[in-house]
């Protein structure tokens, strides 16, 4: 019998970064007083490094890496903990290590630019500039970190010195939690496929409106998910695989020009996708 612990790992992605934003209490008071408002009416947060592409690049890349993490993992029942199927481990880790290296290079560039960025900020901020708001480069470096923690999926195969009835209760509770979280993960996989097909139907259905815009990414996201889902199907759900296969066969690989310029093809794909959605809904209870 294959256990979930053989099929998946638990992973936590921890990223810290400097936001370069600070509450300016003095400016907050001045704005409130100048407008005869209560000082609790709002806060003035200043950007310590306005117009800084170096820092913006870090924040953008951080968001991208987080999204890639969510795409390649499934939810687990604990905050900040996700399940990484072993079938997807090598693909994900290869990409993650590359992305982490790129992120560290962007951070290094920002730290190199930091002194000149601080000088530029002084010109932009005027009287709002306060040198005390800016950490030293050595302290700033410690504010950037990226770590992926990998843990095993818990199993009931453990031994501690407790009364048999207590130990049995703990094992039963653990098994129940693992089964619940496995169900959550699989529902997420189903939902992803359903949402992609639904979005495609919605966008294709609006193409008769000349003001509507259709993006190539709508089609690409369907194709990409069809390639990824076999590695996320931790329970080898045959129904999910059958639906994924049908989506791939009928809806993946389409070109934007084809569906935009051929109304007959477009309607046939809307009909096929709608039929798939209806049958998926039956499995999902939608």
CA distances from 157 to 5, 83, 153 (A): 11, 20, 11
DSSP-derived pairing of the beta strands 45-47 and 145-152 = unpaired
**49: number of Cβ within 10 Å:** 23
Cross-strand bridge partners of residue 151: 10
DSSP letter at 23?
A: E
Query: With the C-alpha atoms ordered 168, 174, 177, 183, is the resulting torsion angle positive or negative?
Result: negative
Q: What is the mean pLDDT of residues 182-202?
A: 96
Instruction: Tell me how far apart the alpha carbons of residues 54 and 133 are, in angstroms, rounded to a whole number.
Output: 18
**Lowest model confidence (mean pLDDT) among 79-88, 123-132, 157-166:** 157-166
Say if residue 79 is exposed, middle or buried (CB neighbours under 10 Å; 0-12, 13-18, 19+): exposed
DSSP-derived pairing of the beta strands 74-75 and 82-85 = antiparallel
**pTM, 2 dp:** 0.87
**Lowest model confidence (mean pLDDT) among 85-94, 161-170, 200-209, 244-253:** 161-170
Q: What is the mean pLDDT of residues 130-152?
A: 95
Residue 8: its H or E element: strand 8-16
Q: What are phi and psi of 285, to 5 degrees?
A: 80, 25
The confidence score (pLDDT) of residue 101 equals 98
Q: How confident is the model at residue 43 (pLDDT cuts 50, 70, 90)?
A: confident
pLDDT per residue as tens digits for the range 202-219: 999 999 888 888 999 999
Say if residue 122 is exposed, middle or buried (CB neighbours under 10 Å; 0-12, 13-18, 19+): middle
Tell how many helices (H) and how many strands (E) occur in the chain. Answer: 10, 6
Q: What are phi and psi of 49, to 5 degrees?
A: -130, 70
Nearest to 272 by CA among 247, 252, 239: 247
If you write DSSP's letter for every residue of 145-169 in order, what string do you get?
A: EEEEEEEEPP-S----SS-HHHHHH
Residue 197 CB contacts under 8 Å (≥ 6 apart), including other chains: 222, 247, 251, 273, 276, 277, 280
Token pair belonging to 115: 């002194």
Q: How confident is the model at residue 285 (pLDDT cuts 50, 70, 90)?
A: confident
pLDDT per residue as tens digits for the range 54-94: 999 999 999 999 999 999 999 997 778 999 999 999 999 99
Is there a contact between 272 and 252 (Cβ–Cβ < 8 Å)? no
Token pair belonging to 98: 């590359």
Is there a contact between 47 and 53 (Cβ–Cβ < 8 Å)? no
């Amino acid at each position: 019998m294959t256990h979930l612990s053989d099929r998946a790992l638990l992973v936590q992605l921890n990223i810290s970064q400097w936001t370069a934003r600070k509450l300016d209490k003095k400016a907050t008071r001045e704005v409130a007083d100048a407008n005869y408002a209560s000082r609790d009416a709002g806060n003035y947060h200043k950007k310590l490094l306005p117009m800084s592409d170096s820092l913006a690049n870090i924040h953008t890349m951080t968001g991208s890496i987080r999204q890639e993490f969510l795409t390649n993992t499934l939810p687990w029942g604990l905050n900040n903990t996700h399940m990484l199927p072993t079938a997807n481990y090598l693909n994900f880790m290869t990409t993650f290590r590359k992305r982490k290296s790129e992120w560290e290079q962007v951070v290094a560039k920002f730290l190199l630019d930091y002194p000149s960025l601080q000088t530029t900020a002084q010109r932009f901020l005027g009287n709002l500039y306060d040198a005390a708001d800016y950490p030293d480069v050595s302290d700033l470096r410690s504010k950037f970190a990226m770590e992926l923690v990998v843990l095993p999926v818990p199993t009931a195969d453990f031994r501690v010195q407790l009364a048999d009835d207590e130990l049995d209760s703990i094992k039963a509770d653990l098994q129940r939690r693992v089964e619940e979280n496995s169900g959550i993960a699989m529902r997420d996989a189903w939902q992803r496929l359903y949402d992609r097909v639904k979005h495609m139907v919605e966008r294709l259905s609006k193409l008769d409106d000349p003001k509507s815009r259709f993006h190539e990414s709508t089609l690409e996201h369907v194709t990409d998910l069809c390639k990824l889902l076999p590695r996320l199907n931790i329970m080898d759900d045959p129904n999910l695989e059958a639906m994924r296969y049908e989506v791939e066969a009928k809806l993946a690989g389409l070109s934007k020009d084809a569906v935009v310029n051929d109304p007959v093809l477009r309607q046939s794909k809307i009909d096929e996708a709608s039929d798939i959605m209806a049958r998926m809904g039956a499995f999902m209870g939608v």
